[in-house]
Amino acid sequence: MVEIERKFLVNSAAFKELAYAEKRIKQGYLSSVPERTVRVRIKDNRGFLTIKGASSASGMSRFEWEKEIAILEAESLLLLCEKGIIDKTRYEVNFGGHLFEIDVFYGLNDGLVVAEIELQSELEHFEKPLWLGKEVTNDARYYNAYLSNNPFGSW
């Protein structure tokens, strides 16, 4: 139940040619405090409830629990969320034996493109595609919970 993840800015749209899946995501936060976030997500036509704990000192690891919920429940819970619903398209790309999830944001976060890779350990090596830019793993501004309250467009 521990998620190990690294985040990077994306420096070109070349990843779209490699994507094998594309999903529209809307998500909001019932709690966006760094010690515990509670997220409601609609991914295509499926609902999810996710609880995440505080990040490790490196920013790479944290507790994560997720459960699929009925789409009608997710839609109702989104209405209870804090202001700042996140709207994005997620592209999935396999590269060098790893899955990269690239989020292209809309609305007040328009212009932001972030890639995430989940790893088995913080020390796991992976091949970096050319479209992968600066690492922002330990920069809390790039957490979706932060972006919901402090949109990229206002930085």
The three-point CA angle 59-29-94 to 5° equals: 55
- pTM for the full predicted model: 0.94
As given in the structure block, the two tokens for residue 142 are 């790039």
pLDDT tens across 53-72, in order? 998 888 889 999 999 999 99
Instruction: Give which of 111, 113, 108, 114 is closest to 150, Cα–Cα.
Output: 108
Tell me: the pLDDT tens digits for 71-93? 999 999 999 999 999 999 999 99
| Domain range for 141 | 2-154
What pLDDT, on the 0 to 100 scale, is given for residue 44? 93
Catalytic residues: 29
pLDDT at 1: 83
pLDDT at 34: 85
- Rounded to a whole number, what is the distance in angstroms from the first to the last CA of the chain? 33
* DSSP H or E segment with residue 153: none
Token couple for 136: 């922002």
Total domains present in the chain:
1
Q: What tokens does 126 get?
A: 């992976």
Residue 15: which CATH number?
Answer: 2.40.320.10
